[in-house]
């Protein structure tokens, strides 16, 4: 009987290469730096790594503006470095996922440069979305870039091209057979080099509809599509189904073809996870139908408040939705596009939330530095590099805070990340958060993660469903308490500011903070903590 796919309940560690470890002193992380730290990643207890883009790029949007998707940018090394990284990871029994960015190219990609030269009506321009102005001279439509400003930029001959993100990232036209063929070439290139799968950037954005039609609320729509923009949930959820360029039905035909390609690699067990933030949530299930992709990111926890009723709703709904298509959910508390969870909900709260999530069925994604309890970095405006900050003239600060390099050792910045000057400034206050310091402290965030992931693999992976035992809908007497049972382990999270006593017996496997007190068939759960009890 075939064993369960490796990715079904994997722990996947996201590496932002530019901020992970710098091997050559230029202030930016690189692939050799990643390779040199894979032992650390393995000892954390994860199953796979996912690397954000390291491809040839002018780097106007953190590498997501790809100029050549089948080569390595010199700032990160070369293809030999990529191959060595993959081989070393495999020698450590770590799978490797890489980003693929099919919504857009860099304006420095040879295709776009050819399109500029070829002119109106050319085959080269048909690979993108080029349109003339309206008869009255106005833009082709009123869509607003998710990074601020118009989503249209004019070229010298008067035509405009569409870019849902920065003007340096022209959107590709997936009605062009050449686009589809080129991406199949890219997928095969990296699979043949040895990678085990892909994270698909803006997976829901490839197909556009009604390109020449205005949207009734373009600014509201643009804000609704950004996780870091505060917005009333009702307004956000009311706007999302009206998006004319996200979650269109045509994307699924693309992924059915990709799935055939992935499956052609036989027992390699290739997987792909979609970055697809869609509404209503049931739409996410379409991306993981049996003939499409393997996973879809669940973003609901990225902006969830530390409130038991909200967390219960998110978690229970996610599990039930994915069960409807016979798969499991994914869980992520942070990534390179969102505020770090410790900054968003609090340091102790983030530890409790992580431990609670690690017990749930499905795959969990950990953003590098999350295991250290890192907060968002404090970035002076003059040091910011995110195009969101630049395009909004500073009105939105952007994502640089979540991308500050990792602290490895020492008592002052740059904490062993580089022998040079880090590309984003690091905080001297992080001296107690370095890997070196935390390895030596038994109760550190890093050791909590290491212990929890080891226990997860031993007691909870492939155990089956959960049974809620404390929740807003399951008779909980304390609104600050959430708990479920999975197999022979019960997981309790106390979200309150004071300890809580529950009637339960067994061995406490791990606790995120404080010291639980157990006697007479009861256990006292410390304030703002999660514990696992084995029966």
Q: Report the catalytic residues.
A: 201, 275
Neighbours of 501 (CB within 10 A): 14
- Nearest C-alpha neighbor of 415 from the set 22, 106, 88, 120: 22
397 neighbors 436 (Cβ within 8 angstroms): no
Q: State how far the Cα of 225 lies from the Cα of 219, in Å rounded to an integer.
A: 10
Give, as one character, the DSSP assignment of residue 487.
T
Q: State how far the Cα of 8 lies from the Cα of 153, in Å rounded to an integer.
A: 42
3-state secondary structure of 163: coil
For residue 458, the number of C-alpha atoms closer than 13 Å in the C-beta half-sphere is 12
Task: Report CA-CA distances (Å) from 93 to 88, 138, 484.
Answer: 9, 56, 31
Give, as one character, the DSSP assignment of residue 158.
S
Q: List phi, psi (to 5°) of 350.
A: -65, -35
Residues forming a β-bridge with 507:
534
Radius of gyration in angstroms for the set of CA atoms belonging to the chain, rounded to a whole number: 23
382 neighbors 30 (Cβ within 8 angstroms): no
Tokens of 423: 């590309």
Give, as one character, the DSSP assignment of residue 516.
-
Strands annotated E in 116-270: 130-131, 152-154, 160-162, 197-200
Which residues fall within 8 angstroms of residue 286, CB to CB, at 6 or more apart?
252, 292
Tokens of 182: 């080129």
Number of H helices, E strands in the chain: 14, 21
C-alpha angle with apex 257: 99 to 213, nearest 5 degrees?
80
Neighbours of 154 (CB within 10 A): 13
Q: For 258-293, b where at least 16 C-beta lie within 10 A, e where not — what string?
A: bbeebeeeeeebbbbbbbbbbbebebbbbbbeeebb
The dihedral over CA atoms of 17, 432, 450, 273, expressed in degrees to the nearest 10, equals -30
Terminal-residue alpha carbon distance, the chain: 30
* Preceding amide of 414 cis, omega within 30: yes
Tell me how long the chain is.
535
């Amino acid at each position: 009987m075939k064993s369960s796919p490796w990715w079904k309940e994997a722990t996947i560690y996201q590496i932002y290469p530019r901020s992970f470890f710098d091997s050559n002193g230029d202030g930016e992380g690189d692939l050799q730096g990643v390779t040199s730290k894979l032992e650390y990643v393995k000892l954390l207890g994860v199953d796979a790594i996912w690397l954000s883009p390291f491809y040839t790029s002018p780097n106007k949007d953190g590498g997501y503006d790809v100029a050549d998707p089948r080569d390595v940018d010199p700032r990160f090394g070369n293809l030999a470095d990529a191959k060595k990284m993959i081989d070393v990871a495999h020698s450590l029994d770590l799978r490797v996922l890489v980003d693929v960015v099919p919504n857009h190219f860099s304006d420095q990609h040879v295709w776009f440069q050819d399109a500029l030269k070829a002119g109106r009506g050319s085959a080269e321009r048909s690979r993108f979305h080029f349109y003339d102005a309206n008869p009255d001279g106005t833009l082709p439509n009123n869509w607003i870039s998710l990074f601020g400003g118009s989503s249209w930029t004019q070229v010298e001959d008067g035509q405009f091209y569409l870019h849902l993100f920065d003007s340096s990232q022209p959107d590709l036209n997936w009605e062009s057979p050449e686009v589809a063929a080129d991406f199949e070439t890219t997928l095969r290139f990296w699979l043949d080099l040895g990678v085990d799968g892909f994270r698909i950037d803006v997976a829901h954005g490839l197909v556009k509809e009604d390109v020449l039609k205005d949207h009734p609320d373009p600014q509201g729509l643009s804000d609704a599509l950004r996780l870091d923009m505060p917005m009333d949930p009702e307004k956000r959820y009311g706007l999302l189904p009206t998006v004319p360029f996200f979650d269109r039905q045509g994307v699924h035909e693309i992924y059915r073809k990709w799935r055939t390609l992935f499956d052609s690699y036989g027992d390699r067990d290739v997987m792909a996870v979609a970055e697809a933030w869609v509404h209503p949530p049931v739409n996410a299930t379409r991306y993981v139908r049996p003939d499409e992709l393997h996973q879809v990111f669940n973003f609901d926890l990225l902006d969830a408040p530390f409130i038991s009723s909200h967390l219960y709703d998110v978690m229970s709904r996610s599990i039930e939705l994915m069960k409807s298509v016979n798969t499991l959910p994914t869980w992520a508390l942070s990534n390179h596009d969102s505020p770090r969870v410790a900054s968003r909900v609090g340091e102790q709260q983030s530890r409790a939330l992580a431990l609670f999530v690690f017990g749930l069925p499905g795959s969990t994604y950990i953003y590098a530095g999350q295991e250290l309890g890192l907060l968002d970095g404090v970035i002076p405006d003059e040091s910011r590099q995110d195009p969101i900050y630049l395009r909004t003239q500073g009105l939105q600060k952007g994502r640089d805070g979540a991308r500050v390099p990792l602290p490895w050792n020492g008592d002052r910045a740059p904490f062993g990340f580089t022998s040079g000057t880090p590309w984003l400034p690091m905080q001297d206050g992080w001296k107690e958060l370095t890997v070196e310091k935390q390895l030596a402290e038994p109760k550190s965030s890093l050791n909590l993660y290491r212990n929890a992931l080891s226990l997860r693999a031993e007691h909870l992976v492939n155990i089956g469903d959960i049974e809620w035992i404390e929740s807003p809908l399951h008779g909980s007497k304390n609104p600050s308490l959430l708990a479920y049972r999975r197999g022979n382990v019960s997981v309790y999270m106390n979200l309150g500011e004071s300890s809580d006593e529950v009637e339960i017996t067994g061995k406490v496997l791990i606790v995120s903070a404080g010291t639980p007190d157990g006697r007479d068939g009861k256990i006292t759960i410390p304030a703002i903590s999660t514990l696992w009890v084995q029966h």
